[in-house]
A = this chain, B = another copy of it.
Amino acid sequence: MGSQVARILLEDADALAARTGARLELTGIAVRTIDAPRDVDLPRELFTTDAESLVEDADIVIELMGGIEPARTLILRSIEHGATVVSGNKALLALDGPTLYEKADAAKVQLSYEAAVAGAIPILRPIRDSLSGDRITRVLGIVNGTTNFILDQMDTTGAQFDDALAEAQRLGYAEADPTADVEGHDAAAKGAILASLSFHTRFALEDVYCEGITKVTAADIAAAKDAGFVIKLLAIAELVPRDGADGTGTEGVSVRVHPTLLPRDHPLAAVHGAFNAVFVEAENAGELMFYGQGAGGTPTASAVLGDVVSAARRLVLGGPGRTETTTGHVPALSIDSVSTSYSIGLDVADQPGVLARIAQLFTEQGVSIETLRQSIHHADDAGQATAELRIVTHRASEAALAATVEQIQDLDVINSVTSVLRVEGA
């Protein structure tokens, strides 16, 4: 991405100057190794390994090195020098954003990071500015292209997770070590950033509940499809009214990442391949969706350059840094206090009375069943007839669901709980 940003700054210098009111001179590019092979041909004299000196003289510092250190130190040094900072470093922002924002506020410099979430899609600026007079109630984001590609492959071809992952790796959509993507860590960092801007309160990575897609099976996808759903890995940030019975009376925000069943006619269900999309629900605006490419050097460079030109215009006009409010002070909710619908897969003995016993147990736990499908009959290894049940519940608390699942496993007619997935958007 860094080399694409440099290329555009050089190639489109005239157009950018016209829009900014001043030429944006690329003074240097800090790299680890000057002679490393790069996909873009850039003037060799721009490269330096001395990042610390580079940031001392710059009006605008673009940080695209990723990782926590030395990125954090260099950003803090840039802020001290009064430079505007543009970053795409979601990991750092999710981990230690509050420190950086506070330093930038105190120094009255701008810190922007549109590229950190959903690549080319303008989503942070619309949330921060366009929706600043509204009250956002929920954000659902497909913010990781790798996992969306894998789940879309599984949905389209019926492939198992491992095969879809291998295909994604072959096509360059997944890295050799896919952990950060498939375990949901990347989406969780983006979820923390989206939640912070949406609810005017700073949330960090530790506030995000995170569950990846490695346990999603072809059978889960097929059963979901059968029932009119598609499975997506969503980053969800949701304003939850606290239950008055809690005695607290205050609301909270649940930030979570997990595989989620979505109705196939939901706008997010149509987001295929490695594309990203963020669905926003606001009190006045209603439902909004922002769609586009979530990764790739050139698309993400577009978001970086948008921040650079906006910041430069402001510098040219001599105005103050733009502001972000964090006066919301809503608490982050743990996953236990969230309630959603669930899709539960059960492998059960195919004998009379099983359905009644399961239904009875759900009722006792206060979890109401919306639909129950008994789909496949076959003989297990011991020659016993078994059936596969898929139960979709009405809204229930995570705690009630966990208790139900635990107790169900103890029933003698249950062979196994094959999957527990959450349903949104219904």
Contact = CB atoms under 8 A, between A and B. Distances in A.
Interface of A: 4, 8, 12, 15-16, 18-21, 114, 120-122, 125-126, 129-135, 200, 267, 270, 282, 284-293, 296, 298-299, 301-310, 313-314, 317-320, 322-323, 325, 327-328
A327 B19 contact: yes
Contacts of A12: 133, 135
B299 A293 contact: no
Q: Kindly list the 3 A-B residue pairs having the minimum CB-CB distance in the complex, ordered from nearest.
A: A133-B305, A319-B319, A122-B130
Contacts of A313: 132, 322-323
Contacts of A129: 122, 125, 306, 309-310
Contacts of A307: 133
A54 to B, nearest CB: 21
Contact of A19 (B16, B285, B309, B325): B325
A287 B292 CA distance: 6
Contact of A288 (B200, B286, B292, B320): B292
A315 to B, nearest CB: 11
**Oligomeric state, in copies:** 2
A129 B169 CA distance: 35
B120 A285 contact: yes
Contacts of A292: 285-289
B132 A310 contact: yes
A320 B293 CA distance: 33
Nearest to A272: B265
B8 A325 contact: no
A242 to B, nearest CB: 18
A268 to B, nearest CB: 11
B320 A301 contact: no
A284 B8 contact: yes
Nearest to A317: B320
Nearest to A21: B323
Nearest to A267: B291
B122 A309 contact: no
Nearest to A12: B135
A134 B305 contact: yes
Nearest to A132: B309
Nearest to A292: B288
A318 to B, nearest CB: 7
Interface centre among A121, A129, A131 (most CB of B within 10 A): A129
Nearest to A277: B289
A325 B126 contact: no
Given A20-B325, A286-B293, 8 more contacts: A19-B200, A130-B303, A131-B302, A267-B270, A285-B292, A286-B292, A286-B299, A287-B293
B132 A122 contact: no
Contacts of A305: 132-134, 284
A155 B183 CA distance: 42
A289 B20 CA distance: 25
Contact of A289 (B16, B126, B291): B291
A314 B132 CA distance: 13
A183 to B, nearest CB: 27
A135 B8 CA distance: 11
A305 B283 CA distance: 12
Contacts of A282: 120, 302
Interface centre among A125, A289, A302 (most CB of B within 10 A): A302
Contacts of A18: 200, 325, 327-328
A149 B267 CA distance: 17
A129 to B, nearest CB: 5
Nearest to A287: B292
Contacts of A289: 289-292
Contacts of A291: 267, 288-291
Contacts of A125: 122, 125-126, 129-130
A289 B279 CA distance: 12
Given A288-B122, A323-B313, A15 B135 contact: yes
